[in-house]
Structure 1
């Protein structure tokens, strides 16, 4: 078992994200998960990510607030406890269009070079 307290989570900067503060909850550490890592993203109003894609799938879970997600011109709003999977290579845009901070878990496999 590997426990990591929230107070010990380290910040990270996610590429092509803006007005976003990321914390690594699990991963890239001794005794942690071996096939994926878990991030906690806090998007300020107007914050977001993209457009971009990754060569591996990822899972988003909105914990608080809401995030607009656009893929191929289709936009959906994810609210509290909504989740989605973004397949490998799919270009997405995330935007917090609300006036409140949105909080989201992100689960991503390790990149091949990790």
Structure 2
């Protein structure tokens, strides 16, 4: 088992994100997961990301608040405990349109070059 306390999570800067504070809960460390890493994102009101895409899928899980996810012009609002998978190369924009913080888990596979470094 690889244990990491929340107090020990390190911040990270996510590209093309704004009004967001990210913490790496698991990943990119010895003894941690080999296939994916887990981020905890806190989006301030008006915060968000994109539009952009990644060559790999990612999963969003809203823990608190709401997040609007926009894909192909279609808007979907994720509420507490809702989740979605963003497919590889799928262009998405996310926006916190509420006046409270949106807290979200993000599950992302390692990029191929990072995976070889970890294994």
Q: TM-score, normalised by structure 1?
A: 1.00
Counterpart of 1:87? 87
Q: Report how far residue 48 of structure 1 moved.
A: 0.1
Counterpart of 1:98? 98
Q: Report how far residue 82 of structure 1 moved.
A: 0.1
Deviations 1:39-67 (A, max 9, x none): 00000000000000000000000000000
Instruction: Output the CA distance in 2 between the equivalents of 1:66 and 1:42.
Output: 11
Instruction: Output the CA distance in 1 between the equivalents of 2:57 and 2:77.
Output: 19
Q: Report how far residue 76 of structure 1 moved.
A: 0.6
Counterpart of 2:64? 64
Q: Which has a greater percent of helix?
A: 2
Q: Secondary structure at the match of 1:113?
A: helix
Counterpart of 1:37? 37
Q: Report how far residue 72 of structure 1 moved.
A: 0.2
Query: Gapped runs of 5+ residues in structure 2?
Result: 115-119
**Aligned-CA RMSD value:** 0.2
Query: Gapped runs of 5+ residues in structure 1?
Result: none
Instruction: Output the CA distance in 1 between the equivalents of 2:4 and 2:91.
Output: 32
